[in-house]
Structure formats: C-alpha cells, structure tokens
C-alpha cells in the first residue's frame, strides 16, 4: 500500500486585510460598498508585486496574502495604508475607508493554491483584533523587522487585546509620521482608481 508523501510546509508571512468604514461611520449603500471593495482590490494588486507578495484569495472585504518574509509583508501593509490615506484625502467623506491588517510569520501548508495551518489561523486572529487603519503583527514578524522601521513596534497589553490570549505576543506597527501624500503619488492613486470624484 502506497504511503502518501506529507504535504510540504513552508515558513511564510501570512497577512489578512479587511476594509471597513472609518470609526464612527457606516455605509448604507450596497453599490457604494461594491465600488469601495473594487478600489481596495485595485490598490492591493498594484502594490503587492512590488513587495514580492502573492494573493492567495480574495475575501468579502479583504484579502489573504502571502510573503516570503516579515519585512516584505510589513512594508506592503504600510504602503497600502499610506495609499489609502492619500485616497481618502482626495474623495468625499462618504467614500472614505479604513484598512486594517494582521500578519504572522509561521509554518503553512500549500494545497490547491490555498494555504493552511496554524500560521494562517494566527494571522486571521491577529487581524480580527486590529483597529481600523492599523497594522498588528506577531512577535515572530517583529523579530524580523526590528531596527528596520522608523518607529519601534508597540507591544499590546491585555486591555488592548480584550483579554484574548494568543500563543504569541502581538504588536502594533505604526506608519511613519511623514509619508508621500501628494504630488506624483497622489496622481498615481487617482489614475489607478480612475475616479472623477476626487477633490481638486
């Protein structure tokens, strides 16, 4: 009787993103939500190849993404959130969005184009804890990016994690105080989204 070979496992940085209305706002228009999901997708797919990331699958309001290293994942998330900031500066209040992300570096198994394993499960739980517009990361990710960011990751306490215990410490990684918010970057975002409702 033939014995099936074990499925290959790989160390990957797994990221979940989720798009939602900014704090204190809500969307009541289904057509608007579809448009905003499409814009989120355009931004993700524009930026992902620059950071060596792979789209595993699209979710209802976000994505499951895979990177070879924690630094690549963090760089992608920070640039995505910067792009969202630029986009929000150029659209009406009701079209603004917030994107949260969670990332964990762990072992995963690949099967039929999807990824499975504890690394995926932990990344999903970390993303679910993140507040709108923030990036949360596990300690395994933070070890890889230590000393390579403009500000040190902030370890979250029990209160910030709503007393949810995880097998890894969780950190918040903040965007730099200054990032590209205008000029060529703004023009590129506007061109990518192709929206005529941007403020001049």
What is residue 199's predicted lDDT score, i.e. its pLDDT? 38
Residue 142, number of CB atoms within 10 A of its CB: 23
Both tokens of 139, joined, read 């300690």
- Domains of the chain: residue spans and CATH: 9-190 (3.30.70.1230)
Residues in the chain, pLDDT under 50:
2-3, 5, 180, 182-183, 195-200
Q: Residue 14: which of 77, 128, 79, 106 has the closest Cα?
A: 106
Q: pLDDT value at position 193? A: 61
Q: Please tell me the distance from the alpha carbon of residue 168 to that of residue 104, in angstroms, as a whole number.
A: 9
CB 81 within 8 A of CB 175: yes
Degrees (nearest 5) of the Cα angle 156, 141, 131? 40
- CA angle at 197 for the pair 76 and 29, rounded to the nearest 5°: 85
Cα(43)–Cα(183) distance, integer angstroms:
17
Supply the pLDDT for residue 87. Answer: 87
Q: Is the dihedral of CA 33, 160, 140, 10 positive or negative?
A: negative
pLDDT at position 46 is: 92
Q: Which residues contact 23 (CB under 8 A, 6 or more apart)?
A: 98, 131, 132
Q: What is the DSSP letter of 120?
A: H
Residue 99's DSSP bridge partners are: 19
- Classify strands 98-111 and 135-138 as parallel, antiparallel or unpaired: parallel
């Amino acid at each position: 009787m033939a014995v099936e070979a074990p499925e290959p496992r790989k160390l990957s940085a797994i990221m979940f993103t989720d798009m939602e209305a900014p704090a204190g706002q809500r969307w009541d228009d289904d057509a608007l939500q579809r448009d905003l999901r499409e814009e989120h997708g355009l931004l993700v797919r524009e930026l992902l190849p620059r950071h060596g990331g792979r789209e595993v699958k699209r979710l209802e309001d976000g994505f499951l993404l895979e990177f070879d290293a924690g630094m690549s994942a963090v760089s992608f998330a920070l640039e995505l959130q910067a792009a969202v900031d630029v986009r929000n500066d150029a659209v009406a209040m009701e079209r603004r969005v917030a994107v949260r992300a969670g990332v964990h570096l762990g072992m995963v198994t690949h099967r039929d184009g999807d990824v499975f394993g504890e690394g995926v499960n932990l990344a999903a739980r970390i993303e679910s804890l993140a507040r709108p517009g923030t990036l949360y990361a596990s300690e395994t990710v933070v070890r890889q990016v230590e000393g390579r960011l403009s500000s040190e990751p902030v370890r979250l306490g029990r209160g910030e994690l709503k007393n949810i215990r995880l097998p890894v410490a969780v950190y918040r990684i903040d965007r730099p105080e200054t990032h590209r918010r205008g000029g060529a970057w703004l023009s590129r975002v506007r061109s990518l989204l192709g929206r005529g409702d941007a403020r001049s």
